[in-house]
Structure 1
Amino acid sequence: MPYINLQITKGATREQKAQIVKEFTETLVTVLGKKPEHTHIVIQEIDEENWGFASVLTDEYRKSQG
């Protein structure tokens, strides 16, 4: 039973999430021969203020790039 836990910053549309689920599932079927009905994908959306990289929080990083 494949299980994917994807964490992204908030902002993806429902359509984008549906595409992610579809394409991740297709990849597991194609590459590993897994059954789609056994594949579980969880998308967790994280507030930008709760995600950091390059020594700063994501919301601050994006402000500095805009």
Structure 2
Amino acid sequence: MGKTKIAVTTDALAIIKINILVERNVFTNRSQAIQEALYEKIERIEHRRLTEECAKLDPVEESQLA
């Protein structure tokens, strides 16, 4: 998938921490650091939503349907 440029406003401490990670070669650049952080957050949210929906299921009823 292609890349799309966006502008992000954040506090200075977050930028300092990202810059340190880039300097330590944890990430190639700030864009990579932010992109990976976004994907990790999205994945956690999606996983949590799936867990919440699964908790609503009745195991007995699901067994009967299977």
Smaller-chain TM-score bracket? 0.3 to 0.5
Structure 2 length as normaliser, TM-score? Answer: 0.33
Structure 1 length as normaliser, TM-score? Answer: 0.33
Is the strand fraction higher in 1 or 2? 1
Is the helix fraction higher in 1 or 2? 2
